[in-house]
C-alpha cells in the first residue's frame, strides 16, 4: 500500500437537502480544516438507501482511514457497515443508528430523552386535562422510534393528558399536511408534538388554514439557528418550544482523528440537548451567533492560509526553475 501522509475521512451523508444536514456538514468541514492532515470527502445519498449502501462500499474500496455514516434507515444499512468493519475500516455512526452494536463509535443526542423532554414540557404547562397529537419522523430511522418511545412513556404515566392520534410522517413537511388536515376536521388537540421543526412548520401551516394557530400549541425538535430554524420559529411564536438536536458534525471529526491516532474513545458519545422556549430563546440565539462568528473566522483564516500556501508554492517552483537555469549556464 502506498504511504499516505494524510488522514482520509469519508462521510456517507443521508441527504443534504435540509439545513440541519447542511449545518452538520459545515461543522465537519470547519473542524477538519483545523487538522492540517485531515482530508474530508462527503458523499450524499439524496435519501436513497441503495445509493447510500453503494457509497459506503465506494469508501471501502477507496480504503478511507475512517468512515462516518448517518444511516438513512437502520436495518438496510447495517450490513454495509459490517462490511466496512470487516475490511478493517473504523466506522463512526452519527445521528441515526443501525441495528445492533457493530460499529466503532456512535455520536448523537439521546433521542429517547428528547421524546421524554417534549412530554415533560407539555405536562409542565397544563393545569387541566389536554389532548395531544404526535407526528413522527420516518419510523424506519432510529430517532423517530426513540422519540416516540420516550414521548409515550412519559405521557402514559399521567392522567392529565391523552395521546389521541399519532401520524407517521417521513421527516418532511408534505408527509404531514394531508393527514393532519383530515384529523383537524374531527378534533382540536391542545398540543401537537412534531419530531422535527420542518414538520412542525407544516403543522402550523395546516393549523392556520383551520384558523387554529392560536389554539393549538406546537412543540418541535432540532432548534436550528438561522432564518428557517426552530429558534426563529420560537421567537416568532410559531412554536411554543423546540428541543435542541445538535448535529455533532465537529465532534465526529474529533472522534475520527482520535481513532486514527489510536487514542481511546467511548463507544457511545452522547450530545447534550435542551428545551428552547420563550424563556431562553434569546440566550440560545446569542450563543449560536458567537459560534457562527467563530466558524466564519476560522473559514476566513483558512482561506488566507491557503492563498499563502499557493503563493509560496509558485514562488518555490519559480526559484527551482531559476536554479535549474543557473546550473545549465
Q: Does 89 bind ligand FRU (CB under 6 A)?
A: no
By rule CB under 6 A, what string of x and - marks binding of each residue 263-302 to ligand FRU?
----------------------------------------
Residue whose CB is less far from ligand FRU, 198 or 217: 198
Residues 6+ apart with CB under 8 A from 274: 223, 243, 244, 280, 284
| Binding segment (CB under 6 A) for ligand FRU, from list 16-24, 150-158, 184-192, 298-306 | 16-24
How far is CA 317 from each of CA 23, 306, 323, rounded to the nearest angstrom?
A: 38, 17, 10
In the bound state, the residue with its beta carbon closest to ligand FRU is 196
Taking CB under 6 A as the criterion, the residue among 73, 96, 97, 173 binding ligand FRU is 96
Residue whose CB is less far from ligand FRU, 90 or 143: 143
Asked if 74 contacts 96 with a C-beta cutoff of 8 angstroms, the reply is yes
Taking CB under 6 A as the criterion, the residue among 18, 65, 117, 251 binding ligand FRU is 18
Residues 6+ apart with CB under 8 A from 159: 129
Alpha helices in 87-196 (DSSP H): 111-124, 142-156, 174-184
Q: Does 146 bind ligand FRU (CB under 6 A)?
A: no
| Binding segment (CB under 6 A) for ligand FRU, from list 1-9, 76-84, 136-144, 297-305 | 136-144
| Binding segment (CB under 6 A) for ligand FRU, from list 137-145, 161-169, 200-208, 209-217 | 137-145
Q: Which residues 152-171 are close enough to bind ligand FRU by CB under 6 A? A: 171
How far is CA 144 from each of CA 115, 134, 137, 317, rounded to the nearest angstrom?
A: 9, 11, 5, 56
Closest CA to 200 of 231, 179, 176: 176
| Binding segment (CB under 6 A) for ligand FRU, from list 17-25, 123-131, 260-268, 285-293 | 17-25
| Residue linked to cell 374531527 | 186
Amino acid at each position: 500500500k502506498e504511504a499516505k501522509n494524510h488522514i482520509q475521512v469519508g462521510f456517507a451523508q443521508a441527504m443534504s437537502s435540509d439545513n440541519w444536514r447542511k449545518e452538520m456538514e459545515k461543522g465537519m468541514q470547519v473542524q477538519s480544516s483545523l487538522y492540517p492532515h485531515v482530508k474530508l470527502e462527503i458523499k450524499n445519498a439524496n435519501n436513497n438507501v441503495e445509493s447510500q449502501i453503494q457509497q459506503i462500499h465506494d469508501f471501502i474500496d477507496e480504503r478511507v482511514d475512517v468512515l462516518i455514516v448517518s444511516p438513512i434507515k437502520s436495518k438496510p444499512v447495517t450490513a454495509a457497515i459490517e462490511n466496512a468493519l470487516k475490511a478493517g475500516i473504523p466506522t463512526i455512526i452519527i445521528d441515526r443508528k443501525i441495528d445492533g452494536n457493530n460499529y466503532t463509535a456512535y455520536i448523537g443526542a439521546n433521542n429517547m430523552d428528547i421524546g421524554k423532554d417534549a412530554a415533560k414540557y407539555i405536562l409542565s404547562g397544563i393545569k387541566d386535562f389536554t389532548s395531544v397529537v404526535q407526528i413522527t419522523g420516518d419510523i424506519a430511522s432510529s430517532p423517530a422510534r426513540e422519540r416516540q418511545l420516550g414521548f409515550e412513556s412519559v405521557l402514559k404515566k399521567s392522567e392529565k393528558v391523552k395521546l389521541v392520534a399519532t401520524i407517521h410522517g417521513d421527516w418532511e413537511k408534505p408527509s404531514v399536511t394531508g393527514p393532519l388536515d383530515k384529523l383537524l376536521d374531527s378534533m382540536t388537540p391542545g398540543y401537537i408534538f412534531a419530531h422535527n421543526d420542518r414538520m412542525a412548520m407544516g403543522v402550523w401551516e395546516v393549523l392556520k388554514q383551520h384558523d387554529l394557530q392560536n389554539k393549538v400549541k406546537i412543540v418541535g425538535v432540532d432548534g436550528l439557528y438561522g432564518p428557517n430554524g426552530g429558534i426563529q420559529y420560537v421567537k416568532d411564536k410559531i412554536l411554543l418550544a423546540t428541543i435542541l438536536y445538535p448535529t455533532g458534525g465537529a465532534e465526529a471529526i474529533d472522534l475520527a482523528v482520535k481513532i486514527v491516532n489510536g487514542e481511546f474513545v467511548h463507544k457511545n458519545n452522547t450530545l447534550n440537548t435542551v428545551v428552547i422556549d420563550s424563556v431562553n430563546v434569546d440566550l440560545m440565539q446569542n450563543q449560536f451567533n458567537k459560534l457562527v462568528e467563530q466558524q466564519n473566522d476560522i473559514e476566513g483564516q483558512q482561506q488566507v492560509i491557503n492563498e499563502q500556501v499557493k503563493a509560496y508554492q509558485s514562488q518555490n517552483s519559480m526559484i527551482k526553475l531559476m536554479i535549474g537555469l543557473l546550473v545549465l549556464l
